Amino acid sequence: MSNQDTDLPASPNAAINIGLCGFGTVGQGVWKHLKRDRAELAARLGVPLRIAAISVRDPQRPRAIKLPAKLLRADPLEVATDPAIPIVCELMGGTALARRVTLAALKAGKIVVSANKALICEHGAEIFATARKHGGHFFFEASVAGGVPIIKALREGLIANRFPQIYGILNGTCNYILTQMEERDAPYAEILAEAKALGYAEADEALDVQGWDAAHKAAVLAWLAHGLWVPPSRMIVEGIERVTPADFKNAAQLGYSIKLLAIITRDFSTEELSVKVHPALLPDSDVIASVNGVYNAISVTGDIVGTTLYIGKGAGQDATASAVISDIADAAALLRSGRCARLPSELAPLPSAAAAPSTVKLAPLERIEGRYYLRLTVRDEPGVLARIASVMARHAVSISSVLQTPSEFPDMASLVLTTHQANERAMRDTLRQLARLSIVSGAPLLLRICEFKT
Amino acid sequence: MSNQDTDLPASPNAAINIGLCGFGTVGQGVWKHLKRDRAELAARLGVPLRIAAISVRDPQRPRAIKLPAKLLRADPLEVATDPAIPIVCELMGGTALARRVTLAALKAGKIVVSANKALICEHGAEIFATARKHGGHFFFEASVAGGVPIIKALREGLIANRFPQIYGILNGTCNYILTQMEERDAPYAEILAEAKALGYAEADEALDVQGWDAAHKAAVLAWLAHGLWVPPSRMIVEGIERVTPADFKNAAQLGYSIKLLAIITRDFSTEELSVKVHPALLPDSDVIASVNGVYNAISVTGDIVGTTLYIGKGAGQDATASAVISDIADAAALLRSGRCARLPSELAPLPSAAAAPSTVKLAPLERIEGRYYLRLTVRDEPGVLARIASVMARHAVSISSVLQTPSEFPDMASLVLTTHQANERAMRDTLRQLARLSIVSGAPLLLRICEFKT
Ligand SMILES: NC(=O)c1ccc[n+]([C@@H]2O[C@H](COP(=O)([O-])OP(=O)(O)OC[C@H]3O[C@@H](n4cnc5c(N)ncnc54)[C@H](OP(=O)(O)O)[C@@H]3O)[C@@H](O)[C@H]2O)c1
Ligand SMILES: NC(=O)c1ccc[n+]([C@@H]2O[C@H](COP(=O)([O-])OP(=O)(O)OC[C@H]3O[C@@H](n4cnc5c(N)ncnc54)[C@H](OP(=O)(O)O)[C@@H]3O)[C@@H](O)[C@H]2O)c1
């Protein structure tokens, strides 16, 4: 980070200072991406963002990311109460010190950004009351489902709705373990050990595998959707430890998969709410049954919108940083203009476009590549495939598979070819020439094969 | 609507007036739900909302919904320029009059809420420039993917990201037709006729089935994600009319489904963008391949967050109204406080909770119902099932299926029972008693079967 980043604002329009309490997995992700996207975010928000202070347990300890010594603080409360820092990110975890830091910042009227679902679950009522009383704000998009903007969706996008049913996979560690057990027919203990070695599970896995982490997140969602704080002690919470490979086989035989689900249901006639976290047999036809590995998925049924579904990586440095930065951007917009600044009519439409709008251009057809499915009605006679193949070869389009089926027309056959990677220009030229062949009847049908990397 | 709703505001904190230009499918949905949720939205936003004027082509024509005559206008421009109306919803469709109405309202510094993707696609640049110049705003959540808050997700929730890849199903009519063709092995023309009769397709289906509607939506998304207006004439746009039942069979044989996809890709090394709408063979393993019927689905890959996926009903009165109302709420929050008001620390957490926070309560165990999966290790001897079944019967838990498999222990068997609908209390009592039986070894495992209605 250059000197310029840590100077104090020179004018009222100068950078907005951000304090990071905690510089672990999430804190470092926020640092990395805020740094990379600095110019774009500044253009989009109309104001630059600057990380002005970072607190860690031990400022002396050598770290992979080199930080200027003047940024480091040993006491997170110093960051939380620094009058030059209006946005405080609590990224330490735990509930005791995190609570003190959060309340101190809110009492100073600051905006606190948090990824700490355990804290919200335990002290949410106090935190929100404090924010309201002192004119501060508490943002927590990163606390549930990593980078998936589910908090924003529930609170703003679906504001017209009541929510009779919300359910989903809220813990990626459990979903990874269950997925591996199912796919590899392997016992829980073996997969857990592996998950720890790979960093997918914490050294102390209890919070995850016993369902408490998902319960914390369910509490956050239940509060957003229903305005009631439900402590995990009043939920049904069961973990995944007793599920065996045999259960997956039994479930499969009955047409189900097994997922650790959080389920929040409200009956609007009796006004009864229930919040549960437990392993569940989910029918294979449910899209969430095929959400595997470290992904999270949340199905939200609104009484007006119907069911909407949100899927994405539930944790990890980058996905979590994406959510924290979106909260920081909301906070900055609020501070900058005292209004909802991130609207398309006020701001450049997109970070990258704002930073360098003139460089994006439409790709020429030669650069649009993919695999193709080609269906031709051809004369049913020898040598036909050879002639078609040679046209394709001339345009450097290579064939991946051939399927011949009877045609509805007499003496004709339906020929289905798939190609290897080719480009739009070559395919258009190929099509034009194929259509001219006497052995081909009617216009060939071209469909595109899309195998997306995700 | 009572008299009170159409009175002018008596104090600065009185209702915010909303004008509806257009009272067709979407307009009536907005009316219906704004009316139903009035108290809740007012509590949540801190200010009541009131529909103050509605324009239709023919105010004399009798309508299913009875409207007070003084609300009705024949000229939408009158609504757009009425100084007492700060929020104008353009819900007429078309691009000529809609453009004039939109620009007139924006020039007056108003907030325009729109569901009109054709208008945005054709005149977006002019609309946003006008809004910026005159301090107005243009909100358009309903223009893409119905009630799924994808605009908000892209613009705010994922603000930290660049978007190398966005793809999905953006037209529910086409997806309905393709799904039916696939499921019923029926030709395009037959399903189209049926879809028209059911109201799933317009009388003039061209805009939908030729891909233009999806192209309009793709243009909106591409602009949001990349800051470039791409007219459909510069995209690859192909419709679904030539797809036959045989193509589905061929595709299935190769492991694919066929979907009409919109695909927006940007290569950040060459800065080349491509926008395409066409039927695509999608591998069965892609979650979007199993999104059927009138649902939309959008996969958004961000460079930080990874791939996130959004699914929901893409159109229809209610889903679209849900999105329009979320934009109205954003607009009202902006007007009311001049700031981002819909934050949890400032507002009651949820409409229904705000209106009647004390009525929600946790459901007792007797009222938490479902089906259960029970795995017991039992002695492998005659009469065991009878004894277990009688314990269950005593608690009114009825058995749906029984599966017996060998146990890992000698002389024991593993017994898997699924139940019909039962409640948590009965199951807990049952479990306790089963665990006490001498024929049962170890603690029974209880999992829950979840078949969600969506
Ligand atoms: N990791 C994820 O994928 C993820 C996802 C969603 C939400 N979250 C949440 O994000 C928060 C942070 O998680 P993390 O994974 O980034 O944690 P982490 O890697 O353990 O980092 C914690 C950071 O906080 C500092 N810290 C801890 N206790 C402190 C104390 N008593 N005084 C001062 N500093 C202290 C540590 O300082 P040192 O560097 O000196 O040790 C470290 O920099 C947690 O609430 C977690 O639940 C995490
Ligand atoms: N329907 C959906 O599911 C859906 C979903 C997403 C987006 N949208 C978009 O929402 C918009 C409205 O769609 P809709 O389905 O509600 O349309 P609609 O049912 O056809 O209703 C159109 C309304 O606008 C009025 N109108 C039309 N032309 C007018 C004119 N020249 N002057 C004055 N009033 C005029 C009509 O008046 P009369 O009542 O007197 O005929 C009618 O009330 C369109 O842009 C559409 O693309 C619709």
A7 pLDDT tier (thresholds 50, 70, 90): very low
Residue A221 has pLDDT above 50, yes or no: yes
Same domain, B29 and B100: yes
Could you tell me if B283 lies within 8 Å of chain A, comparing CB atoms? yes
Residues with Cβ within 8 Å of B67's Cβ and at least 6 positions away in sequence, in order, are: B1, B23, B54
pLDDT tens figures, A222-232: 999 999 999 99
pLDDT tens figures, B154-186: 999 999 999 999 999 999 999 999 999 999 999
- Has residue A332 been placed in a domain? no
Same domain, A194 and A303: yes
Residue A94 CA: nearest ligand 1 atom is 45
Mean pLDDT of A201-230: 95
Closest partner residue to B343 among A37, A137, A349, by Cβ?
A137
Residue A32 has pLDDT above 70, yes or no: yes
Residue A347 has pLDDT above 60, yes or no: no
Same domain, B430 and B385: yes
Same domain, B160 and B185: yes
Same domain, B134 and B97: yes
3-state DSSP helix/strand/coil % of chain B, to nearest 5: 40, 25, 35
Q: How many domains does chain B have?
A: 3
pLDDT tens figures, A351-368: 333 444 558 888 999 999
- Has residue A33 been placed in a domain? yes
Last residue of some domain: A329, A362, A395?
Answer: A362
Model pTM score: 0.93
- Cα–Cα distance measured from residue A217 to residue A208, given in angstroms and rounded to the nearest whole number: 11
Residue B74 has pLDDT above 50, yes or no: yes
Same domain, A48 and A126: yes
pLDDT of residue A372: 97
Domain residue limits at A228: 151-315+355-362
- Of A313-317, A438-442, B2-6, B95-99, minimum mean pLDDT range: B2-6
pLDDT of residue B73: 96
State chain B's mean pLDDT as an integer.
91
Q: What is the DSSP string of B304-315?
A: TTEEEEEEEE--
State chain A's mean pLDDT as an integer.
91
pLDDT tens figures, B191-237: 999 999 998 888 899 999 999 999 999 999 999 999 999 999 999 99
Could you tell me if B339 lies within 8 Å of chain A, comparing CB atoms? yes
Percent of chain B beyond pLDDT 90?
Answer: 84
Q: What are phi and psi of B420, to 5 degrees?
A: -80, -175
A434 pLDDT tier (thresholds 50, 70, 90): very high
- Cα–Cα distance measured from residue A54 to residue A113, given in angstroms and rounded to the nearest whole number: 14
pLDDT tens figures, B281-306: 999 999 999 999 999 999 999 999 99
Pairing relationship of beta strands B236-237 and B165-169 according to DSSP bridges:
unpaired
- Cα–Cα distance measured from residue B18 to residue A271, given in angstroms and rounded to the nearest whole number: 32
Same domain, B134 and B7: yes
For chain A, counts of helices (H) and of strands (E)? 15, 18
Interface of A with B in 204-243 (CB under 8 A): 223-228, 230, 234, 236, 242-243
Could you tell me if B133 lies within 8 Å of chain A, comparing CB atoms? no
Interface of A with B in 42-101 (CB under 8 A): 44
**Candidate from A23, A72, A91, A317 with most ligand 1 atoms within 8 A of CB, to mutate:** A91
- Has residue A310 been placed in a domain? yes
pLDDT of residue A203: 86
Mean pLDDT of B255-266: 96
- Reported ipTM: 0.92
B332 pLDDT tier (thresholds 50, 70, 90): very high
pLDDT of residue B202: 86
A133 in a labelled binding site: no
Which residues are bridge partners to A406 per DSSP? Answer: A413
Give the DSSP H/E element, type plus range, for residue A237: strand A236-237
- Has residue B158 been placed in a domain? yes
B238-277: b (≥16 Cβ within 10 Å) or e: bbbbebebbbbebbeebebbbbbbbbbbbeeeeebbbbbb
Same domain, A121 and A175: no
Tell me the nearest-neighbour CA distance from A353 into chain B, angstroms: 5
- With beta carbons less than 8 A apart as the criterion, state whether B403 and A247 touch: no
Residue A1 has pLDDT above 70, yes or no: no
**Domain containing residue B271: CATH number:** 3.30.360.10
pLDDT of residue B337: 65
Q: Which ligand is nearest to the CA of B64?
A: 2
pLDDT of residue B11: 46
CB burial of residue B380 (10 Å; 0-12, 13-18, 19+)? middle
**Domain containing residue B36: CATH number:** 3.40.50.720
The tokens describing A281, both together, are 């047999």
| Closest CA relative to residue B42, chosen from B282, B392, B347 | B347
Question: Dihedral of CA B46/B52/B55/B58: which sign?
Answer: positive
- Has residue A323 been placed in a domain? no
C-alpha A33 to ligand 1 mean position (Å):
17
- Cα–Cα distance measured from residue B332 to residue A274, given in angstroms and rounded to the nearest whole number: 32
- Has residue A326 been placed in a domain? no
DSSP state of A154: I
- Which residues in chain A have Cβ-Cβ distances shorter than 8 Å to B258? 447
- The catalytic residue positions of B are 217
Give the DSSP H/E element, type plus range, for residue B134: helix B117-134
- Cα–Cα distance measured from residue B265 to residue B273, given in angstroms and rounded to the nearest whole number: 6
**Candidate from A20, A31, A55, A56 with most ligand 1 atoms within 8 A of CB, to mutate:** A56
Same domain, B160 and B306: yes
Last residue of some domain: A139, A169, A197?
Answer: A139
Last residue of some domain: A139, A173, A189?
Answer: A139
- Which residues in chain A have Cβ-Cβ distances shorter than 8 Å to B271? 359-361
| Identified catalytic residue from A133, A152, A217, A259 | A217
Count CA atoms within 13 Å of residue A120 on its CB side: 31
- Has residue A145 been placed in a domain? no
CA distances from B168 to A449, B11, B116, B221 (A): 14, 47, 19, 11
Same domain, B133 and B82: yes
- Of A334-338, A415-419, B50-54, minimum mean pLDDT range: A334-338
Interface of A with B in 151-190 (CB under 8 A): 152-153, 155-162, 165, 167
The tokens describing A284, both together, are 């294979």
Same domain, B296 and B369: no
**Domain containing residue B399: CATH number:** 3.30.70.260
CA distances from A17 to A34, A43, A84, A424 (A): 12, 16, 7, 49
Q: Which ligand is nearest to the CA of B316?
A: 2
Residue A72 has pLDDT above 50, yes or no: yes
Same domain, A169 and A135: no
- Has residue B52 been placed in a domain? yes
A13 pLDDT tier (thresholds 50, 70, 90): low
Query: Which residues sit with their C-beta closer than 6 Å to ligand 1?
Result: A 22-27, 55-58, 61, 76, 91-93, 97, 115-116, 142, 315-316, 320
- Which residues in chain A have Cβ-Cβ distances shorter than 8 Å to B409? none
Q: Is B23 in the pocket of ligand 2 (CB under 6 A)?
A: yes
